Chains A and B, each alone.
Chain A
Amino acid sequence: MKKMIWLTTLSVLFVVFLVPAILAMTLKMVPAGDQPGYNSDQRLSIYGKRGVSQEFVSKEKNLTAIGTSIRNLNLKNKKEIILSLYDENNKLIRTSVLNGQNIQDGDFVKFVFEPIPDSLNKIYSFTIFSPEAGPEETIEVFYINSPTDSILEFTYDEKTHPGGLPIVIFHKPQSKWEVVWKVYSNWFSRLLRLTSG
């Protein structure tokens, strides 16, 4: 019985205190924030030469991915979907390609690329195209009308509007311990707010 008591006690302590750290150590990138809420009726079609471009600010170092939600109704688009990332001088610095056949309708997808070390507080722009797709292979992205602290403006059909795709910007952490620290400190701060509140 003593063995079972020890096994159970250690199992519980391991799961509630150590597993979160182990999970945190497996994270290769972390989001800079939550995805902004969006109206699912506000969508932009992308196919052929019809694409979208958007400006945003990276709030962290080591920018490594841009995520957004994409509609691919009935998996009609099985072609390449290309995100091209440009710096402030409009110089192409990264490209990331996804295939439509891997994108379920409404999926939140991440365009991942090599980290950009000095991305902190810099303005970038990206374009999303599916150049080989015809009108019947249209994908759709959502957009928001008002800018946020990182989403600035977007261009569609040669017109520029405030706001843009509801994106999440991901960055590569400096170290695994940094992630563990952030997870636990955030968790503890909420626990402390609970006791003080």
Chain B
Amino acid sequence: MKKLLVLAIVLRILVAGLLFHPDIKTYNYQASFLKKGVFNIYTYLVQNNKMLPIKDDFVYFPLTYFVLGGYQAAISPIFGNGLDSWLANAGSNSVVNDPNIFKYLIALKLPYLVLDIAIAFLLKRFFDDQEKAKKAFILWLFNPFTIFLVYAFSNVDIFAVLLTVIAFLLLKKEKLILASVALGIAAGFKLYPLLFIPFLFIKGKDLKEKVFIVLIPAIILGIIVVPFWSQDFVQSALISGLTTRIFNPGFSIGFGESMIVGLFSISILFFYALLVDKKPKLFNYWVVLLIFIFAFSHFHIAWLLWIAPFIVILAVKKPALSLSLFFLTALAFVIPILYDDRSMTISLFRVYSTWYDLISTPFAIVQKFYDPYNLQSVLHSILAGGSLVIGYKLLSKEEEK
């Protein structure tokens, strides 16, 4: 096991140091203002936009700013001004040609490595059977998806993912209130864990517990968000495209109204759990809820990490599903790679050479032969179909017998 762990860490460091998604530089540049004493990053960035070399908004929730900013403050004595200068450098080529980029990338992604390994150990605790626990541990560390999701795409969502895993461990021990606390803190990084609160509400034993389950995450999120509440925060983080994409309208039902497919499917799921399912298994509902998000929304590749630990648990619990799960995960991975976005593919390799800027993206290559949007739609439809069947199997009582 120790050898495997070392191998897993080596593979992660290779990807962390050699593949570069520009987001990591952007949000770490923004987080670097914490050590300069900036508390409200949302307002600061808007007010100082003209004089800043990098002008993007901070699209994440406050805990991301404080955790990343705090970590940077801790490591800044090691790197001195070099890291700060690199983060503030807006030059597209000089950033990747800096020989220190490898150590900067590894240093900035180091917290992800700690959380990633922590998730591997937490996944073991979902199983009483030692063999299955070991299988989950290995499957988390050795699957080609999560390594690239976390370290190539610099996936800051791992903070929220770890907390949702903790929430489900607490749920397994029937500690619903503590689970809702974990979800509330997770929402301080990213809002999506709140989608699970209605399902946790159903599980509450009595009205008092149900009220606590709903109120606690709301209060925690309120404490985290209220100090920053402003037009700048709302525009930058709360209603940013990434936060609200799940609730983008699906199809028109006339007279200006639209059916929001993502919300519609989550609603079906909730009322099914409430009214039909006598003994709802919350783990299955969480997996199906996330599956619906990927089936019915134009998702960002980073979101796939939200479901990854739960897919690992599912694959260990139900080995018969593992091949289908692997295929559907691979499909879900390919769809964003076909987006018209260089940073999904070619740009990740700019550390090796900026000459790669001359290479066509998969989107542009497909465009020569076929409509790439149509290809995305075809793949997404297959993903949605397969996902629905997996969802059906998870919720069907027959499956449990």
Binding site for B on A (CB under 8 A): 1, 4-5, 7-9, 11-13, 15-16, 19-20, 23-24, 26-31, 34, 179, 183-184, 186-187, 190-191, 193-194, 197
> Is B349's beta carbon under 8 Å from chain A?
yes
Q: A1 — which chain B residues lie within 8 A by C-beta?
A: 135, 138-139, 142
Query: Which among B96-104, B291-299, B302-310 touches the partner chain?
Result: B96-104
Write the nearest CB–CB distance from B117 to chain A, whole angstroms.
15
Q: Is the CB of A11 within 8 A of B144?
A: yes
Q: A16-B18, A19-B349, A183-B353 are in contact. Are A9 and B97 (CB under 8 A)?
A: no
Among the listed stretches B32-40, B197-205, B239-247, B354-362, which one makes contact with chain A, having 4 or more residues with CB under 8 Å of it? B354-362
Q: Which of A7, A11, A12 has the most CB of B within 10 A?
A: A12
Interface stretch of the complex, out of B7-15, B57-65, B386-394: B7-15
Q: Please count how many residues in chain B sit with their CB below 8 Å of the partner chain's CB atoms.
A: 32
Is A197 within 8 A of B100, CB to CB?
A: yes
Docked CA distance A15–B349 (Å): 9
| Number of cross-chain contacts by CB at 8 Å | 83
Query: From residue 183 to 235 of chain B, which have CB atoms closer than 8 A to chain A?
Result: none
Query: Are B139 and A9 in touch, CB under 8 angstroms?
Result: no
CA distance A14 to B331 in the complex (A): 20
Complex CA–CA separation, A16 to B358 (angstroms)? 19
A2 to B383, CA, bound (A): 27
**Which chain A residue has the least Cβ–Cβ distance from B94?**
A34
Min C-beta distance of A69 to chain B, whole Å: 13
A5 to B5, CA, bound (A): 11
Please, how many angstroms separate the alpha-carbon atoms of A190 and B353 in the complex? 11
Q: Is B147 an interface residue (CB 8 A)?
A: yes
A162 to B142, CA, bound (A): 59
Cβ 8 A contact of B352, one of A8, A28, A183: A183
Chain B 1-45 residues near chain A, CB threshold 8 A = 4, 7, 11, 14-15, 18-19
Question: Residues of B with Cβ closer than 8 Å to A?
Answer: 4, 7, 11, 14-15, 18-19, 93, 97, 99-103, 135, 138-139, 142-144, 147-148, 346, 349, 351-356, 358-359
Complex partner residue of B99 from A9, A11, A197, CB under 8 angstroms: A197
Contact B99 A190 (CB under 8 A): yes
**Cα(A172)–Cα(B147), bound, Å:** 36
| Closest chain B residue, CB of each to CB of A14 | B144
Instruction: Provide a sorted-by-A list of 23 A–B residue pairs whose CB atoms are within 8 angstroms.
Output: A1-B138, A4-B139, A7-B144, A8-B11, A8-B142, A8-B143, A8-B147, A9-B7, A9-B11, A12-B15, A12-B147, A15-B15, A15-B19, A16-B14, A23-B349, A27-B358, A28-B358, A30-B358, A31-B358, A187-B352, A190-B97, A191-B99, A191-B102
Inter-chain contact B349/A186, CB cutoff 8 Å: no
Q: A107 to chain B: closest CB distance in Å?
A: 13
Task: Check B355–A24 contact: CB distance below 8 A.
Answer: yes
